Amino acid sequence: MASRGNKSLVPEAKEGLNRFKIEAAREVGVNLKNGYNGDITSREAGSIGGQMVKKMIQSYEEGLK
């Protein structure tokens, strides 16, 4: 199976995902800017990703109720 790399399956969702990422970053106290954010630490990037996963799980669980 060929790797798809960094291509989105739904390109139209990119803007929504960026807003979601910035919202999660604010919640964990990381200042993201539009564009390049290569100056943040691995710990900060991980905390953003972890917050995004946490919110997705919460949303899914609320949908099960």
Read off the pLDDT of residues 46-61 as tens digits, 9 standing for 90 and up: 999 999 999 999 999 9
From CA 43, how far away is CA 15, in angstroms rounded? 24
What is the C-alpha separation between 10 and 55, in angstroms, rounded? Answer: 20
Q: Quick one: pLDDT at residue 8?
A: 75
Burial class (CB in 10 A: 0-12, 13-18, 19+), 24: buried
Predicted confidence at residue 2, as pLDDT, reads 56
Measured between alpha carbons, how far is 59 from 54 in angstroms, rounded to an integer? 9
Q: What is the pLDDT of residue 55?
A: 97
Residue 14 has pLDDT above 70, yes or no: yes
pLDDT > 90 in the chain, percent: 69
Yes or no: say if 21 and 52 are a contact pair by the CB < 8 Å rule.
yes
Question: Is 58 part of any domain?
Answer: yes
Q: What domain count does the chain have? A: 1
* Domain extent at residue 21: 13-31+39-64
Identify whether 8 is part of a domain: no
